[in-house]
Amino acid sequence: MVADRAETVTSSKQTVVTAATEKKYITFEATVSTDDTITLGDLADILYVKLCKKSDGTDVTCTEATNVVTVTQVSTTNVPVVGFTYGT
C-alpha cells in the first residue's frame, strides 16, 4: 500500500542566492591629444582602462572617472590609440 513516509533530516542549511554581477569589456580606437576625454557611453563605471599607441604599442597614460577616460600623457597630439576597458 502507498504511504507517506517520514524522513530523517540529516542536514539543513540556508543559502543566500544573488544575481550574478556582470561586467562589460570594450575595445576601442581613437585619435587623442593631451587632456582629451573619451566618454564610453556603454559603461556607467570604468573599473580598468589601458591605452596604447597604435604605432608601437607603448602605453599612453590616462585616468578614468565614472565612464570618462582622460588622456594625461604629456606632449601627445593627434595620436591614434587602441584602448581596452571593462566596467559596469
Name the residue ranges covered by the structural domains of the chain.
24-87
Prediction pTM value: 0.75
pLDDT band at 43 (very low <50, low <70, confident <90, very high): confident
Query: Could you tell me how far CA 8 lies from the centroid of its own chain?
Result: 48
Q: Is the pLDDT of residue 15 over 70?
A: no
Residue 78 near residue 35, CB atoms below 8 Å: no
What's the CA gap between 49 and 14, in Å, rounded?
A: 39
Residue 23 near residue 85, CB atoms below 8 Å: no
Residue 13 near residue 68, CB atoms below 8 Å: no
Q: What percent of the chain has pLDDT over 70?
A: 77
Give mean pLDDT, residues 44-66. 94
The set of residues, in sequence order, having a beta carbon less than 8 Å from that of 64 and lying 6+ positions away, is: 46, 49, 70, 85
pLDDT band at 41 (very low <50, low <70, confident <90, very high): confident
